[in-house]
Structure 1
Amino acid sequence: MQDVPALVAQAREGRPRAVARLISLVEGASPQLRDVMAALAPLTGNAYVVGLTGSPGVGKSTTTSALVSAYRAAGKRVAVLAVDPSSPFSGGALLGDRIRMSDHASDPGVYIRSMATRGHLGGLAWAAPQAIRVLDAAGFDLVLVETVGVGQSEVEIAAQADTSVVLLAPGMGDGIQAAKAGILEIGDLYVVNKADRDGADATARELNHMLGLGEARSAGDWRPPIVKTVAAKGVGVDDLVDALEKHRGWMEERGVLAERRVARAAREVETIAVTALRSRIADLSGDARTGALAAQVVGGELSPYAAADVLLDAIAPRALGAPEESAGG
């Protein structure tokens, strides 16, 4: 058993080993996870969470590394959560800590962690929201979440980040992919990386055109900017940082940032509740009640929906802590 208060205190002091242990408790769905989250709750809400997503090969890791350098130059503590594809054999991350970010490995103001998706759709590990909470509570000013480049399921990043950055590159058919994947609906900023290649201007124009075909915006609404970069050479990174800070300021001024964080917490609570319900249902898989209900369905006495309602009525009070029973004494 881990000493949770001591780990949290050490994480707040900037000790990477303590941060790593807390995230490992999250990833392993430790029985101490509730204690960890309870200890972290009053310490969160300060980190700016930026999600970076896009098709494979657009330069997400290189751009992430460039952003780390820019924010460190400004004196900010930066954490990187790199969500990798899962190994079909071990369930672990295939890529490990990104090679392109190795330049920051010895910097005490930078923490880099790879997480495996473990088959979770949407490009994010199921434990990512809690891992972000750990990094926030540990005092990092900026948390960069780089997601698996899996194309159409990348939209989940919008549910976890304050600002979502979508990367594209010329010559990769990203314009068509953007429209098909629906990422035009989730990007707060768009980056045409590798802008020194032929076709970069055309990609930016096509993207700008598609953004113009979107929903009508009122005066004062945020219009996602398009930033051209060559992240490997540091070109355009200052413009990207400037765009990020402008979006953050816009959100804070209009209360959008607070709204997004409340919505994010609501989804997190819902996910935890649904997971608890699923575990209760799994516990009932061999229960006599389930078999009896199934027999009634086969016999035409109950519809599957009516049987499911009976099952939910049986498990929901237990999953939710039985408030009705406690209220009655």
Structure 2
Amino acid sequence: MVDVPELVARAREGHPRAVARLISLVEGASPQLREVMAALAPLTGRAYIVGLTGSPGVGKSTTTSALVSAYRRAGKRVGVLAVDPSSPFSGGALLGDRVRMSDHASDPGVYIRSMATRGHLGGLAWAAPQAVRVLDAAGCDVILVETVGVGQSEVEIAAQADTSVVLLAPGMGDGIQAAKAGILEIGDVYVVNKADRDGADATARELNHMLGLGEARAPGDWRPPIVKTVAARGEGIDEVVEALEKHRAWMEEHGALAERRLRRAAGEVETIAVTTLRERIADLHGDHLTGTLAARVVAGELDVYTAADELRASLTDPSFKARFASGAL
């Protein structure tokens, strides 16, 4: 058993091993996870959470590393969650972002954690929201969350970040991809990286045109800026930070930051509740209840909605299992 109060206190003091241990408890769904989250709850809510997403090869890790450097020059403590896809065969992940950000490995003001998706879709690991809370409570001023890079499906970051950054690069077909599947809806700041390549200006123009074709904005609404960078050389990174700070100031002025964080908390509560219910339903497999209901559906004795009602009743009605066991159902 872990001494949670001591572990949290050490994490607050900036001990990286304590932070690592807390995140490991989150990833492993430790029986002490509830105690950990209860201890962290009063300590969270101060960090600014920036999500970075985009297709593979656009330079997300390089941009993240450059942003870390910029924020460190400003004297801010930075946490990084870099999410990598899991192998469908071994379940493991390369976690290569730790290699790309090795320049910051010895900086006590930076904490970098790679996380595997473990099959979770949407571009994030399932434990990412709670890991963000750990970094927030540990005193990080800015938390950068870098998603998998799976393309159009990784829009989950928009619900988990205060500000979402969408990265594109010239010559990769990103302009067309940006018009699809919600990419235009999730970006608060757009970055055309590798702007020293041919086609960067055309990519920025195309993106600007597509943003103009999006839903109408009222006067005073936020219009996502487009910033061109060469992250490998640090060019344009200060402009990205400036755009992020402007978006944060706009959100605070218009109450959008509090609204986003309220929606994020509501989503976390709902996800945990639904996960708990799924675990309880899975426990019913031992009683063959789900299989029995499915067999009755196949036989035409029940429709799927009535079967679902009975399955739900098994979770809330103490007499249900007894009636099921006696053959009354």
Which residue of structure 2 aligns with residue 47 of structure 1? 47
Q: Distance in 2 between matches of 1:92 and 1:159?
A: 26
Q: Distance in 2 between matches of 1:96 and 1:303?
A: 49
Question: Does 1:94 pair with 2:94?
Answer: yes
Secondary structure class of the residue paired with 1:297: helix
- Partner amino acid, structure 2, of 1:139: G
Q: Distance in 1 between matches of 2:247 and 2:299?
A: 59
Secondary structure class of the residue paired with 1:180: coil
Which residue of structure 1 aligns with residue 165 of structure 2? 165
- Partner amino acid, structure 1, of 2:104: H
Q: Distance in 2 between matches of 1:17 and 1:297?
A: 52
Structure 1 spans left out of the alignment, 5+ residues: 319-329
Which residue of structure 2 aligns with residue 250 of structure 1? 250
Structure 2 spans left out of the alignment, 5+ residues: 319-329
Q: Distance in 2 between matches of 1:210 and 1:6?
A: 51
Which residue of structure 2 aligns with residue 326 of structure 1? none
Q: Distance in 2 between matches of 1:117 and 1:187?
A: 22
Question: Does 1:266 pair with 2:273?
Answer: no
Q: Distance in 1 between matches of 2:18 and 2:99?
A: 23
Secondary structure class of the residue paired with 2:179: helix
Q: Residue deviations 1:232-275, cap 9 Å, x none?
A: 11111111000000000000111100000010011111111111
By how many angstroms is 1:299 displaced?
A: 4.2
Secondary structure class of the residue paired with 1:20: helix
Q: Distance in 2 between matches of 1:192 and 1:150?
A: 18
Which residue of structure 2 aligns with residue 11 of structure 1? 11
Q: Residue deviations 1:152-190, cap 9 Å, x none?
A: 111111011000000000111110111123211100000
Question: Is the Cα–Cα contact under 8 Å of residues 19 and 135 in structure 1 kept in the other structure?
Answer: yes
Which residue of structure 2 aligns with residue 121 of structure 1? 121
Which residue of structure 2 aligns with residue 215 of structure 1? 215
Secondary structure class of the residue paired with 2:293: helix
Distance 1:235 1:15, change over 3 A: same
- Partner amino acid, structure 2, of 1:64: T
Which residue of structure 2 aligns with residue 133 of structure 1? 133
Q: Which moved more, 1:232-241 or 1:82-91?
A: 82-91
Secondary structure class of the residue paired with 1:154: coil
Secondary structure class of the residue paired with 2:101: helix
Question: Is the Cα–Cα contact under 8 Å of residues 83 and 95 in structure 2 kept in the other structure?
Answer: no
Q: Which moved more, 1:274-283 or 1:206-215?
A: 274-283
Question: Is the Cα–Cα contact under 8 Å of residues 52 and 165 in structure 1 kept in the other structure?
Answer: yes
Secondary structure class of the residue paired with 1:152: coil
Distance 1:232 1:12, change over 3 A: same
> Identity of paired residues, percent?
85
Which residue of structure 2 aligns with residue 310 of structure 1? 310
Question: Is the Cα–Cα contact under 8 Å of residues 165 and 189 in structure 2 kept in the other structure?
Answer: yes
**TM-score, normalization by structure 1:** 0.94
By how many angstroms is 1:286 displaced?
A: 2.9
RMSD: 1.4
Distance 1:317 1:202, change over 3 A: farther
Secondary structure class of the residue paired with 1:195: coil
Secondary structure class of the residue paired with 2:155: helix
Distance 1:163 1:311, change over 3 A: same
Which residue of structure 1 aligns with residue 60 of structure 2? 60
Question: Is the Cα–Cα contact under 8 Å of residues 277 and 316 in structure 1 kept in the other structure?
Answer: no
- Partner amino acid, structure 2, of 1:211: L
